[in-house]
Every structure is written in C-alpha cells, then in structure tokens.
C-alpha cells in the first residue's frame, strides 16, 4: 500500500523554459514510481532509491496546486507544467486517487498549458480535460506561436514487448502503449515519443532502431525525442546494479561492456554519444519525424 503524505509545495518552477520538454514548471502528484523501470534515473541518483517500497501519495497536492497556480496566474507567469517529471502521472494507484485528473481540472481552471509524459494507457480517461486545456491555455510569450495548450509525450525505451518485460516490468506494455498513441494522434493532440533512454546494444541496434522509427512513423506521431542512458549507484536497488543484474541474466555478452562504460561515469562515453545523436538525426530525416516539440507544433498549426 502506498503511504499517504502531506507536502509543503507541489509546483516546482524552473529557471528557464526547458529546451526539450518546453516546461516552466513540474508537478508530481505521487512520489516514487511503481512502473519499476530498472534504468530509472531516480534510482541511485539524488531523487530516491527503492521505487516501489517508497511509493507515496501527496494527499494535499490538489489544494496546494490550486493555491500555487492562482499566485502564478495573478503574476501572469504562465508556462507549460510537466506532469510528471519524477514519477508517472498514470500509475495504477491513479485509478483510486485520481490526483492527476483533479490536477488537470485545476490546471484548466487557471488556464495553464500542460505537458503529460507517461508510459501508461490510462491517459485516455482524461482526453476530455486535455482537449479543453489544449484550447483554453494561455501560453508564455516565447511559445505563443505553438497555439497548443496540451502536449502529450509517451515514453518508450523499446517498442518490443519482450525487451520491455525485462527492463520496465511494471509499465503498460509497448504494444498497448502504441494503441493509445494512435488514439491520441487521432484525437488531434500534439503527440510525440520520448525515447529516453534507448538501451545501448539492445534497443539501439540498427535493426531495432528501424523497427522503432517505422512503427512510430506508422502511428503518425509529431515528434521523437531520443536520448542515451544514464546509470547511477552501486547499491542493491540502484539503476546501475539492477541493469547489470538483468544483463547477467538476459544479455550476458553485454555485461563487460556496460561495466566498463559505467565504472568511470554515469554517462555513455563521448564517442558513443556523438555517434548516437548523429544517427538519431539521420533517422528522423529518413522517417520524416521532427526532433523538436516546438517545430512539430509550428508545422501542425
């Protein structure tokens, strides 16, 4: 059972608009995450460790969000709110607590734009509110031209149900996620895919990448945002340890590579990253997919 906790603040303001996700604010109704992705960046980093056992519900989140957004609106400080940055807004417990749905009602009331990032199919339940926000939101001056108040990004590390079953055991399967991606696109939402992270030598092989990009092209998504993996920590529940353990079981030939890469740093080596981003741009060009949300929104408007 998740813990019910009270917090002092729920709306975090960034110093500047995020260049990838376009948010000025982040809002997390839950703390930690039951989707349990082994590579999750909040494991072993400064954000937390044992995801499932530390799952908690911020029971005063909606009241606080209402107050904090009223203050920001009074000062005309409109900006995209990312829901959520350090958990998933549509965890299984959202069915019971409905904090994300209630937060969207408050966001609509104060006319803020929203960017949902999720691995879940439960988002479909809230299409009604998201459509209203899309029309009613007041955009910050820098993003006025976008003319969209709702951005929906689905997060994938792979489109293979088999690979996802190993590395993100608690999340909605990619095949089910893709079904809801298609529905989101057909509703007319600005819809994209965060490929964060692609798994080195597993979901970033040439064959897997073509499968991923051709699948996303067929879904008619507006943009893709690929990134490499970061792994942290040496404790039992840290992302680096969990990934190495899974590799030992399912991909033993990759263990030595990962150990070497991540012994000195939490990032992949520079030469890999340069080749990775070059390849991603080539794939975006080949499949006609935008690699920026703003560019995709301008094309759509």
Position 56 contacts ligand SF4 (CB under 6 A): no
**Closest distance between ligand SF4 and the C-beta of residue 2, in Å?**
14
Position 51 contacts ligand SF4 (CB under 6 A): yes
Query: Which range of residues in 3-11, 35-43, 107-115, 122-130 is near ligand SF4 by CB under 6 A?
Result: 35-43
The rounded distance, in Å, linking the Cα atoms of 77 and 57 is 27
Q: Which is nearer to ligand SF4, 39 or 112 (CB)?
A: 39
What binding mask, one character per residue, do residues 135-174 give for ligand SF4 by CB under 6 A, x or -? ---------------------------------x--x---
Position 180 contacts ligand SF4 (CB under 6 A): no
Question: How many residues make contact with ligand SF4 (CB under 6 A)?
Answer: 12
**Nearest one of 181, 205, 180 to 193, comparing CA atoms:** 181
Q: Which is nearer to ligand SF4, 42 or 133 (CB)?
A: 42
Position 37 contacts ligand SF4 (CB under 6 A): yes
**Per-residue tokens: 24:** 């000025």
Q: Which is nearer to ligand SF4, 99 or 137 (CB)?
A: 99
Interface residue with ligand SF4 among 58, 72, 110, 119 (CB under 6 A) is: 119
CA 199 to chain centre: 15
**Closest distance between ligand SF4 and the C-beta of residue 111, in Å?**
28
Residues 6 or more apart whose Cβ sits within 8 Å of residue 227: 194, 195, 196, 197, 198
DSSP state of 52: T
Residue 285 phi/psi, 5-degree rounding, is -65, -45
**Per-residue tokens: 59:** 């029971």
Position 23 contacts ligand SF4 (CB under 6 A): no
How many C-alpha atoms does 153 have within 13 Å on its Cβ side? Answer: 31
Distances in whole angstroms, Cα of residue 150 to Cα of each of 69, 118, 156, 213, 242: 17, 14, 20, 23, 35
**Nearest one of 117, 95, 113 to 28, comparing CA atoms:** 117
Q: Which is nearer to ligand SF4, 87 or 208 (CB)?
A: 87
Give the footprint of ligand SF4 on this chain (CB under 6 A).
33, 35-37, 40, 42, 51, 87-88, 119, 168, 171
């Amino acid at each position: 059972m998740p813990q019910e906790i009270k917090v002092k603040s729920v709306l975090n303001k960034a110093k500047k608009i995020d260049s990838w996700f376009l948010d000025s604010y982040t809002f997390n109704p839950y703390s930690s995450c039951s989707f349990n992705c082994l590579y999750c960046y909040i494991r072993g980093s400064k954000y937390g460790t044992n995801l499932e056992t530390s799952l908690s519900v911020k029971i005063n989140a909606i009241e606080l969000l209402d107050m904090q957004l009223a203050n920001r609106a009074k000062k005309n400080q409109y900006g995209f709110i990312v829901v959520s940055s350090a958990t998933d807004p549509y965890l299984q417990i959202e069915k019971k607590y409905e904090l994300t749905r209630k937060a969207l009602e408050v966001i609509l009331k104060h006319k803020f734009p929203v960017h949902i990032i999720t691995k879940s199919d439960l988002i479909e339940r809230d299409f009604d509110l998201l459509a209203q926000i899309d029309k009613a939101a007041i955009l910050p001056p820098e993003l006025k031209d976008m003319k969209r108040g709702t951005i929906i990004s689905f997060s994938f590390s792979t489109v293979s149900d088999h690979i996802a079953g190993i590395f993100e055991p608690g999340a909605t399967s990619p095949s089910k996620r893709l079904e809801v991606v298609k529905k989101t696109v057909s509703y007319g939402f600005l819809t994209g895919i965060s490929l964060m992270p692609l798994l080195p030598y597993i979901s970033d092989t040439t064959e897997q990448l073509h499968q991923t990009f051709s699948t996303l092209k067929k879904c008619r998504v507006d943009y893709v945002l690929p990134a490499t993996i970061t792994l942290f920590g040496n404790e039992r529940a840290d992302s680096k340890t969990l990934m190495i353990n899974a590799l030992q079981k399912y991909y033993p030939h990759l263990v030595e590579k990962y150990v070497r890469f991540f012994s000195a740093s939490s990032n992949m080596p520079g030469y890999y990253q340069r080749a990775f981003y070059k390849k991603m741009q080539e794939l975006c060009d080949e499949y006609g997919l935008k690699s920026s949300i703003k560019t995709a929104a301008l094309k759509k408007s």
